[in-house]
Amino acid sequence: MAAAQPHSRLRRLLWLLAVALWALVALYPISTGLSRTIGVALFVVCWCGFLALTWSRKYLRVVLIGVSLFAAGLLLLPARTPPAADSLRADYVAGLRRYGGVTYIWGGESFKGIDCSGLIRRGLIDALFCRGVRTGNSGLVRGALSLWWHDCTANDLRQGRGGLTAPLLETPSLNELDHTRILPGDLAVTRDGIHILAYLGDRQWIEADPFLGKVVTVSVPATTNQFFASPMQIVRWSVLAH
């Protein structure tokens, strides 16, 4: 027993170190392929380590195994019929609004800091994941994780990379756009593909503005915002088109 105690203490220390490293990665505002890979690996290590450390506690073990099986089911079970586009579109708009006022950080994709494409992606990731977990729809959860894992730029969304978006129309500017031709959740990308905004409805747009340094909601017409006077390509998320 005396010999086993130092090993048990060492395992706890290693687990705490893994948790601390995972927290550092999770709190880092910039999202990259490397940070996502490290974050996932550390999360798995932390989860398995916690399960191993608490294995002797029967009820906690049962709960943790149950949560693990539920998570595995959400990842592996066949997808259910997707929700109506209007319902998911409302979730997306609500998800975008939650990031209002968040600081602009290039490469950011969280409440700690976010950029223009990060905001557009994160709103949909949150909408898909939350609804997927709430309704047990594994297809939505996998869609959220895929969108999170495979980063894409404003220009990628303008070009419809991977079938993520579909083109709707072009406009000389958002100030001149006929807003009756678009729906909440539609996206506007500058012609050079360097900036993207999302439509909230009621002639309001949301963007992570690099000049203002935060996420803002802007009503049309906007005479002091240069992006609203620029030529735009309007596109729609494919998942919101059905």
pLDDT digits (tens, 9 = 90+) for 143-158: 999 999 999 999 999 9
- Residue 4, pLDDT above cutoff 70: no
pLDDT tens-digit readout, 105-126: 999 999 999 999 999 999 999 9
**CA gap 121, 139 in Å, rounded:** 17
For the stretch 69-80, what's the b/e string if a residue is b when 16 or more beta carbons lie within 10 angstroms of its beta carbon?
A: eeeeebeeeeee
Q: Are 99 and 75 contacting, i.e. CB atoms less than 8 angstroms apart? A: no
More confident residue, 75 or 164: 164
User: What local confidence, expressed as pLDDT, does residue 189 receive?
Assistant: 98
Is the torsion defined by CA of 40, 42, 45, 47 positive or negative?
negative
How far is Cα 190 from Cα 172, in angstroms, rounded to an integer?
10
pTM for the predicted model, two decimal places = 0.89
CB atoms within 10 A of CB 157: 22
What is residue 5's predicted lDDT score, i.e. its pLDDT? 64
Predicted confidence (pLDDT) at residue 2 exceeds the cutoff of 50:
no
When the pLDDT of each residue in the chain is averaged and rounded to a whole number, the result is 92
> Tokens for 183?
């729906």
- Measured CA to CA, the distance from residue 200 to residue 122 in angstroms comes to 15
Per-residue confidence (pLDDT) for residue 209, from 0 to 100: 97
Question: Which among 131, 134, 102 is positioned nearest to 115, based on CA atoms?
Answer: 102
> In sequence order, what DSSP letters do the residues of the chain get, joined into one string?
-TTHHHHHHHHHHHHHHHHHHHHHHHH-SB--HHHHHHHHHHHHHHHHHHHHHTTT-HHHHHHHHHHHHHHHHHHHSPPPPPPPHHHHHHHHHHHHHTTTTPBB-TTBEETTEE-HHHHHHHHHHHHHHHHHHHHT-HHHHHHHHHHHHS---HHHHHHTGGGSEEEEEEES-TTT--GGG--TT-EEEETTSS-EEEEEETTEEEEEETTTTEEEEEESS-SS-GGGGS-EEEEEEGGG--
The rounded distance, in Å, linking the Cα atoms of 198 and 232 is: 12
Over range 174-200, report the average pLDDT.
96
- Tell me the average pLDDT across 208-222: 96
